[in-house]
Amino acid sequence: MPSPLPWQSGLAPGAELPAGFLLRPALEVARGLLGYRLVSTIGGRRTSGVIVETEAYDGPNDPASHAATLRGPTKRNAVMFGPAGFSYVYRIYGMHWCMNVVTGPEGDAGAVLLRGLHAMEGQKVMKQRRGCEPLSTGPGRLCEALGITGELYGHDLREEPLRLQAGWAVAHDMVGISTRIGVSAAADWPYRFYVLGASGVSRHPGPTKPSATATEGSQE
């Protein structure tokens, strides 16, 4: 068994993000958000969890980003060109919502897709919303479990009802890196980050980083 995950010892206090945390490039923020917390009070019901899986989307430089086109901002991707710390929520396949955290200075269209959450509070509510397990593994499920919809497009993540807060530090030997899931453009870019052995991670593949310590295989 690898070292225990830091959040297994109890609930971390909600904390503000370190200054400048989200102003860095999407790739750095995607790694940095592992162990941080997402707290929803949408619909007056509190649900929260620890971020255990992310993907970076690096704006115009990144062929897989919704901000990749040379044509500049569209109605959908506009929020990504704005300041960091706002949510980019979009609908995919006509039925699921996906949520990103906008990163980088204004004008830089970086974003980080939240793909996996280790549920900590309000699991009963999440079950109710989801109707089945797993609760918050995968971007669509994560949004459903926390009640995130298109209404939260452009929401300031310092404010109710959806807040991003600092949480636990995740050591480097507990982080897996792989290519992004479901993307065809830039398919070989190692822009996905996940916590080894954590529940809430959608898959544990990873051509990119063998990561000596972790024998995978721990279940939820």
Partner DNA sequence: ATACCGATGGACT
Partner DNA sequence: GTCCATCGGTATA
Distance between CA 117 and CA 143 in Å, rounded? 10
- Looking at the Cβ atoms of 59 and 167, the one nearer to DNA is 59
- Looking at the Cβ atoms of 48 and 100, the one nearer to DNA is 100
Q: How far is the CB of 150 from DNA (least distance, A)?
A: 8
Q: Which stretches of the chain bind DNA, using CB under 7 A? A: 55, 57, 64-67, 69, 71, 74-77, 88, 91-96, 98, 100, 111, 113, 130, 132, 134, 137-142, 180-185, 202
- Looking at the Cβ atoms of 14 and 150, the one nearer to DNA is 150
Distance between CA 148 and CA 128 in Å, rounded? 14
- Looking at the Cβ atoms of 133 and 173, the one nearer to DNA is 133
* Beta strand residue intervals within the chain, DSSP E: 37-40, 47-58, 87-92, 96-102, 110-121, 162-165, 175-178, 192-195
Q: How far is the CB of 91 from DNA (least distance, A)?
A: 5
Q: How far is the CB of 15 from DNA (least distance, A)?
A: 25
Q: How far is the CB of 130 from DNA (least distance, A)?
A: 6
Q: How far is the CB of 61 from DNA (least distance, A)?
A: 12
Task: Give the DSSP letter string of 63-106.
Answer: TTSTT-STT---TTTGGGGS-TTBEEEEEETTTEEEEEEE-SST
- Looking at the Cβ atoms of 91 and 209, the one nearer to DNA is 91
Distance between CA 217 and CA 126 in Å, rounded? 25
Beta carbons within 10 angstroms of residue 191's beta carbon: 26
